[in-house]
Amino acid sequence: MGMEFTSVGTAPGVFNAATRQAVVRWQRAVGFSPADGMVRFGDVAFFAELPARVVLSEGVEVGVTVGPGQALVEGATGEAVVEIVTFPDQAALIPRAESLTAMVEGFEWEGRFGPSWTDASGQVRIPVVSSGGGVVCGADCAHALPLGRSSVVALQVVVVPYTQGLIVPVSAISTDPGGQPVVTTETGEVLPITVLAAHGGLAVVDGVAIGTRIQVFGG
């Protein structure tokens, strides 16, 4: 819904006839019924600064009964966090380049990956941050990201450094208990590797000598 501001003169400090008329015009503009010039508890929300982004509190929707003192809306505060959430095997295949381009529909930012961490459910969280270490979307966060405690967005991350090295099938790569990507030779030896890049079922890796015969799983 759009907002329209109308100058009605200097505020007199009292609720007089001019104030009442201004309230009626406002109520009609936003669809209040009745538009009688009376401002009731809950009709107006006050914010320390504008623009402000709010979302309905949990459990609040059209038609529910609310009581005095119940929070109806919540405002977005603090800094947004943009993370890639994945599983350890998949996280090991994401190349940790020094720079990247992150894109959400209509927006594009330059940044890098921050230090990853594993949450209580075992999923790996990889922050996508700006070159300076702040949130990657910067001043665009309020417009590019949906408002909510946690939202899933289609984030496209493009990493394009020139990469060369030994290419192995992605299906040959697994992870050890510490999350380190490894390959297993035909004799059963486990070799720790570094994944430099991955695309289309193939990965460029470091840590395996050319000519080494490795096991491919799931084939």
Q: Which helix (H) or strand (E) holds 196?
A: strand 194-199
How confident is the model over 9-68, as pLDDT tens digits? 676 788 888 888 888 998 898 888 888 998 887 677 776 666 666 777 778 887 788 777
**pLDDT beneath 70, residues of the chain:** 1-9, 11, 42, 47-53, 75-78, 147-151, 160-162, 219
pTM reported for the whole predicted model: 0.47
Looking at residue 2, its pLDDT comes to 43
Q: How many CB atoms lie within 10 A of CB 144?
A: 21
- Here the tokens at position 131 are 């070159």
Q: Are 109 and 144 in contact (CB under 8 A)?
A: no
Amino acid, single-letter form, for residue 137: C
C-alpha span between 118 and 74 (Å, rounded): 29
